[in-house]
């Protein structure tokens, strides 16, 4: 089945960490089905987890259900026909073991923050906890008066209720994977920092760090404007930047990004973090990977477009500095973990958050841009986004778009960089030849072969000048005569940071 819409009603209290929930889940059956499974973590012996108390269909008929481990199974009295639409009503309660983080911030205030990545939403929300199933979402939250509740989408209602409680209704009509649909509840100071094309941008920080927090999140507006104007229109109704208790540095929740607590409490430079999470609003939240193995389509893009933002804002040197830093990390990572970017051996999906998905994925995009040119690359990124927005993609889908816009066969490129482990490890040397041309010798010493071109700056001892040559590497050992130079004094491989490779000293 395909879930189309979720409405989650949640009640938060200060008496305990128990939450009470009602979920209305609208689904369309893709085949005749008599029973379905939803993701929801059942109550365990330690008292944590969600206990379902009632399930009914849209006519109000009670349905049989059972819970086991991570699954809620629901049985219909008769098979639901293919293509029919049904809205299930589920009542449940429990103390979240994970997913909704209920804790205390540095100032002693109790807070609630959804932290769903990668598949932790089903610790507090029944549904399909996988990025390939996207649905519109509403959160209707009741909480004690002293909380402000932020949620995915537009604020439709904020009301005082009897008994010092408040009600918030947030709703989005953009289909999302559950990994980025959340609420946060805390005492907040909230500032509106401007808008981009009528999209409001705001900062939500704990009141104790109001001044510094607002200052820290202030650059978000301009970063949003940059991507909105240079890549594609922003896909969501608002951008809120929220101080939170996420376990990650930043969590790119759709339209309300949650950042680590200290991000708003110290003057750490977080411009790169803001840019990374804002870039995710397009890549990851809107054009999403079809499964976790291809998460570089989220993380590699967010990492790369942070560099791209720095390049366009601060210049080429800043861009190449960032890439050079990342290259060091990739080389170090490969020494511990020589695996391809798409690594289907991973079982624990938190492990796909690694240097391959982020920095190496970013380098793949950088090298793709070098290979097909900036104009084709940006056109390809925009076409890919347009084609897969509010949907899902695999690496092959990106490759197909990039081949279309460039007219090049990119199969070897994607194969060697995304599906093959490692990078070229090169022994580079030269031989002078007083009676003819000097030669540069490049040996690939890694396992497997790469087809790449490396630029080398050649310093000529005779003329004291420098020439840059491009040497295509096809074989394990490549000998390249340098026309016009007989006396090389030194070589500088890859002077413009174009290739992911490692120098191996001869």
Q: Which residues bind Zn ion (CB under 5 A)?
A: 299, 302
Order of strands, sheet of 502-503, starting from the edge strand that comes earlier in the sequence: 477-482, 438-444, 425-431, 502-503
Query: For residue 160, with 0-12 CB atoms within 10 Å meaning exposed, 13-18 middle and 19 or more buried, which class applies?
Result: exposed
Select the residue whose beta carbon is closest to Zn ion and give its number.
302
Q: How far apart are CA 184 and CA 101, in angstroms?
A: 9
The set of residues, in sequence order, having a beta carbon less than 8 Å from that of 333 and lying 6+ positions away, is: 354, 355, 356, 359, 360
- Distances in whole angstroms, Cα of residue 160 to Cα of each of 67, 168, 219, 253: 36, 9, 33, 27
| Smallest distance from Zn ion to CB 258, Å | 12
Of the pair 115, 299, the CB lying nearest Zn ion is at 299
| Smallest distance from Zn ion to CB 369, Å | 20
Half-sphere exposure of 297 (CA within 13 A, CB side): 28
Q: Which of 276, 479, 500 is nearest to 371 (CA)?
A: 500
| Smallest distance from Zn ion to CB 252, Å | 6
| Smallest distance from Zn ion to CB 299, Å | 5
Q: Which of 504, 489, 363, 368 is nearest to 442 (CA)?
A: 504
Of the pair 80, 354, the CB lying nearest Zn ion is at 354
Of the pair 214, 296, the CB lying nearest Zn ion is at 296
List, in sequence order, every residue forming a beta bridge with 251; answer none if it has no partner: 258
Of the pair 299, 397, the CB lying nearest Zn ion is at 299
**Eight-class DSSP state of 42:** B
The span from the first CA to the last CA of the chain, in angstroms, equals: 59
Of the pair 129, 299, the CB lying nearest Zn ion is at 299
| Smallest distance from Zn ion to CB 204, Å | 20
Of the pair 256, 406, the CB lying nearest Zn ion is at 256
| Smallest distance from Zn ion to CB 276, Å | 6
**Eight-class DSSP state of 262:** G
Order of strands, sheet of 488-493, starting from the edge strand that comes earlier in the sequence: 465-473, 452-460, 488-493
Of the pair 360, 498, the CB lying nearest Zn ion is at 360
Phi, psi dihedrals of residue 403, rounded to the nearest 5°: -70, -40
Encoded tokens for 384: 């890919």
Of the pair 299, 460, the CB lying nearest Zn ion is at 299
- Distances in whole angstroms, Cα of residue 92 to Cα of each of 103, 140, 300: 21, 15, 38
Of the pair 140, 357, the CB lying nearest Zn ion is at 357
């Amino acid at each position: 089945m395909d879930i189309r819409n979720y409405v989650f009603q949640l009640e938060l209290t200060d008496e305990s960490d128990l939450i009470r929930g009602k979920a209305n889940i609208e689904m369309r059956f893709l085949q005749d089905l008599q029973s379905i499974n939803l993701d929801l973590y059942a109550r365990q012996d330690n008292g944590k987890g969600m206990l379902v108390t009632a399930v009914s269909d849209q006519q109000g008929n009670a349905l049989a259900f059972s819970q086991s481990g991570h699954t809620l199974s629901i049985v219909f009295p008769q098979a639901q026909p293919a293509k029919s639409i049904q809205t299930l009503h589920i009542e449940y309660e429990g103390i979240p073991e994970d997913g909704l983080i209920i804790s205390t911030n540095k100032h002693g205030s109790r807070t609630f923050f959804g932290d769903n990545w990668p598949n932790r939403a089903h610790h507090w929300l029944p549904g399909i906890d996988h990025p390939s199933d996207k649905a519109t979402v509403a959160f209707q939250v009741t909480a004690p008066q002293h909380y402000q509740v932020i949620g995915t989408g537009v604020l439709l209602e904020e009301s005082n209720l009897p008994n010092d409680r408040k009600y918030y209704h947030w709703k989005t009509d953009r289909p999302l994977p559950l990994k980025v649909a959340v609420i946060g509840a805390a005492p907040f100071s909230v500032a509106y920092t401007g808008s981009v094309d009528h999209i409001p941008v705001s900062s939500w920080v704990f009141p104790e760090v109001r001044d510094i927090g607002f200052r820290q999140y202030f650059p978000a507006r301009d970063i949003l404007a940059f991507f909105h104007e240079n890549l594609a229109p922003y896909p969501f109704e608002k951008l809120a930047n929220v101080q939170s208790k996420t376990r990650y540095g930043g969590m790119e929740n759709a339209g309300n990004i949650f950042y680590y607590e200290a991000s708003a409490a110290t003057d750490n430079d977080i411009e790169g973090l803001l840019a990374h999470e804002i870039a995710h609003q397009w890549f990851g939240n809107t054009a999403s990977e079809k499964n976790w193995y291809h998460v570089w389509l989220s993380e590699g893009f967010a990492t790369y477009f942070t560099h791209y933002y720095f390049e366009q804002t601060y210049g080429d040197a800043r861009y190449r500095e960032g890439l050079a830093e990342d290259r060091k990390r990739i080389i170090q990572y490969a020494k511990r973990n020589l695996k391809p970017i798409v690594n289907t051996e991973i079982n624990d999906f938190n492990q796909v958050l690694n240097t391959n998905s982020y920095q190496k994925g970013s380098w793949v995009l950088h090298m793709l841009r070098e290979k097909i040119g900036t104009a084709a690359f940006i056109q390809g990124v925009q076409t890919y986004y347009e084609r897969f927005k509010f949907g899902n993609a695999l690496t092959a889908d990106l490759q197909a778009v990039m081949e279309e816009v460039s007219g090049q066969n990119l199969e070897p490129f994607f194969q060697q960089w995304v599906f093959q482990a490692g990078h070229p490890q090169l022994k580079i040397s030269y031989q002078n030849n007083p009676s003819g041309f000097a030669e540069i010798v490049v040996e690939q010493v890694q396992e497997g072969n790469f087809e790449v071109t490396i630029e080398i700056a050649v310093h000529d001892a005779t003329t004291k000048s420098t020439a840059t040559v491009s040497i295509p590497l096809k074989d394990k050992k490549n000998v390249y005569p340098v026309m016009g130079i007989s006396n090389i004094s030194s070589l500088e491989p890859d002077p413009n940071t174009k290739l992911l490779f490692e120098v191996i000293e001869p």
